[in-house]
Amino acid sequence: MWWSNLFANMSPANFFNFSFLPKYASFFVQGVEYTLLLSVVSVALAVLPALALALMRLSKNKLIHSISGAYIAVFRSTPLMVQLYIIYYGVFGAIHIPSYTILGFIDVSRFIPGVVALALNSSAYVAEIFRAGILAVDKGQTEAARSLGLSAWQSMKLVVLPQAIKNILPALANELVTMVKESSICSVLGMSELIWGAKTVASTTYKTLSPYVLAALVYFVINFPASKAIEAVERRMRRGDKA
């Protein structure tokens, strides 16, 4: 069988030759920490700009509406890798961040451009999540709030947004799961996240594929339980809904 060779022949190019463990485990531990920090901070930073973008997108003012639309279009329709290069070499070519290490292995002069690029990209996607969440709240809610004398902003803030949160939170958590995987692109600029760790172990030990397989397993172990937890929360939140 074609697959029997996968397990029988333990050459350095084998998928399951994990003989670099336990010696090189630290690369994967630090990689996971870097990846999680990168994705959590990016999505957290994306939330407020995304809310602003979503509200702008729902605005009746044509100019405000189209500024937000253009931002979302650009960031959703171009590759993250190119955005990363432009932010890292372009924007942060003008803004110099001194090299300084936090937590012993995170170089902020690389980390900050990475976070900014991921956050800018993510805010475009999160804005769409917010917009969909707000639009999903029945129009009658706004009409009722307005007829009770609330201003447009008050009815958005006090009536619509609190109900929209329920639609938004699961999608936002899914965005985080996506970001954990997407942040692997930062390895091309030497940010020492999980894929970078796998690449480094592979080049040092000449085990050219198996470190990536291990990295994939680690991503799965993080993301699968996270997705299941999100589903559970979603079910719990739907319990209040009337069928």
Q: How many other CB atoms sit within 10 Å of the CB of residue 72?
A: 21
CA-based radius of gyration for the chain: 22
151 forms part of the interface with another protein (CB under 8 A): no
Residue written as tokens 């957290």?
44
CB of 209 vs another protein, minimal distance in Å: 6
CA distance 186 to 191: 6
Binding segment (CB under 8 A) for another protein, from list 58-66, 67-75, 131-139, 159-167: 159-167
Q: Reduced to 3 states, what is the DSSP secondary structure of residue 33?
A: helix
Q: Reduced to 3 states, what is the DSSP secondary structure of residue 105?
A: coil
Give the one residue of 70, 74, 144, 190 binding another protein; rule: CB under 8 A: 190
Q: How many other CB atoms sit within 10 Å of the CB of residue 107?
A: 15
Q: Reduced to 3 states, what is the DSSP secondary structure of residue 240?
A: coil
216 forms part of the interface with another protein (CB under 8 A): no
CA distance 223 to 178: 9
103 forms part of the interface with another protein (CB under 8 A): no
Number of H helices, E strands in the chain: 11, 2
CB of 123 vs another protein, minimal distance in Å: 12
Give the one residue of 70, 81, 102, 136 binding another protein; rule: CB under 8 A: 102
206 forms part of the interface with another protein (CB under 8 A): yes
CA dihedral for 157, 159, 164, 166, sign (positive or negative): positive
Give the one residue of 26, 151, 154, 227 binding another protein; rule: CB under 8 A: 26
6 forms part of the interface with another protein (CB under 8 A): no
Give the one residue of 64, 80, 171, 188 binding another protein; rule: CB under 8 A: 188
- Interface residues with another protein (CB under 8 A) are 11-13, 23-24, 26-27, 30, 41, 44-45, 47-48, 89, 93, 97-100, 102, 105, 108, 112, 157, 161-162, 165, 188-190, 199-200, 202-206, 208-209
